[in-house]
Amino acid sequence: MPQREVTIINRLGMHTRAAAKFVKAAALYESEIRLIKGDIEVDGKSIISIMMLAAAKGDRVIIRAIGSDEQKALEDLSKLIGKKFGEDRKGR
């Protein structure tokens, strides 16, 4: 099953707003999205589940997608994390 390992690079980690953006983006795909940190694997379309990961800046997480649009989902969700969830702009 396709997966991609990424590093959380935004200053505040995967806090509520970042998790909400991830969930909103993940919901655009038919594929099942899983997010894994260490031994914990959660539903990537559930903000409560993602918050349980407590992923901080510098943590590595694995995005796993299973479904018809899995490659596109992995690519776009990895980009979202790589772009710091649109945060960390000057003054924020």
Report pLDDT digits (tens) over 17-66: 999 999 999 999 999 999 999 999 999 999 999 999 999 999 999 999 99
Q: How far apart are CA 74 and CA 80, in angstroms?
A: 10
Determine whether 9 is an active site residue: no
Catalytic residue among 4, 15, 21, 84: 15
Model's pTM, two decimal places?
Answer: 0.91
What is the model's pLDDT at position 1?
82
Residues ≥6 apart with Cβ < 8 Å to 19: 47, 50, 51
What is the model's pLDDT at position 86?
87
